[in-house]
């Protein structure tokens, strides 16, 4: 439990998107429910962090942070010219998440970065992205078709937090056409797919700052990442 007797409070970044519900058509902050269910099932309380009014002091109220998946990262944020396949970027969300990532790392707040979240972690720390992965690996298995998750076998480096959670290999749900290219100096790659794609990385010298290229929230039968995040958040809250 967190220090005030509550369950660990896990902030999750959200999307700001044009949305239709009932008779309304407006911009709304939203997040797929699977993220919420995963945090709750792992023993935490989810708190949504919309990409407006960004204030890093909000992290003082949290015990852990999830940087959620979503749209392509704006390539201008890492000094690249947009590829024709890079679409639907949200620079405002990029800026919001970069502020939260830096603040979380400064506080050593437990951090889990998912899919786009891993990409944002890398870019925030000075890395770059492969903007259209099929050009690099020669196949579409990481995003086989619209709204269809792929299955990727991942090999994990021993001695890492990733290995503590998953052993030397695991199979994951994935849906992405971008991936890490130049890896930031402060990141240590801990897992790769068979084609060499970076599938997990950890921030050096941090107890729990882990990014994965896959979507753990899409597998409710495997809560290891969320359970580890909530456990670490709980431990920090009672320290």
Alpha-carbon distance values, 15 to 56, 64, 154, 204 (Å): 17, 19, 28, 28
Ramachandran quadrant class, 110 (left: phi over 0; alpha: psi -120 to 50; beta: rest):
beta
CB atoms within 10 A of CB 238: 10
Q: Closest Cα partner for 236 from 110, 95, 128? A: 110
Cα–Cα distance between 155 and 101 in angstroms, integer? 26
Q: Closest Cα partner for 123 from 157, 78, 90, 87? A: 78
Q: How many CA atoms lie within 13 A of 101 on its CB side?
A: 26
Cα–Cα distance between 18 and 5 in angstroms, integer? 37
Residue 95's φ and ψ, nearest 5 degrees, are: -60, -45
Q: Which residues are catalytic?
A: 115, 215, 217
Q: Closest Cα partner for 163 from 125, 201, 106? A: 201
């Amino acid at each position: 439990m967190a220090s005030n007797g509550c369950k660990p409070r896990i902030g999750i970044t959200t999307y700001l998107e044009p949305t239709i519900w009932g008779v309304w058509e407006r911009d709304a902050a939203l997040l797929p429910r699977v993220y919420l269910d995963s945090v709750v099932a792992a023993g935490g309380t989810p708190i949504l962090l919309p990409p407006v009014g960004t204030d890093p002091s909000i992290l003082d109220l949290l015990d852990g942070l999830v940087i959620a998946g979503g749209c392509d990262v704006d390539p201008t944020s890492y000094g690249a010219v947009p590829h024709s396949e890079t679409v639907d970027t949200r620079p405002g969300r990029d800026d919001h998440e970069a502020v939260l990532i830096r603040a979380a790392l400064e506080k050593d707040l437990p951090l889990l970065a998912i899919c786009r979240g891993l990409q944002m972690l890398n870019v925030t720390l000075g890395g770059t992205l492969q903007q259209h992965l099929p050009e690099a690996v020669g196949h579409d298995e990481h995003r086989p078709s619209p709204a269809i998750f792929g299955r990727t076998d991942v090999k994990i480096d021993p001695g890492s937090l990733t290995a503590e959670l998953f052993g030397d290999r695991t199979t994951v749900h994935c849906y992405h056409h971008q991936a890490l290219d130049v890896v930031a100096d402060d990141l240590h790659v801990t897992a790769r797919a068979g084609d060499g794609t970076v599938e997990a990385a950890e921030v050096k010298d941090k107890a729990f700052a882990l990014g994965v290229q896959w979507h753990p929230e899409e597998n409710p039968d495997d809560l290891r990442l969320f359970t580890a995040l909530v456990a670490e958040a709980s431990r920090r809250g009672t320290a």
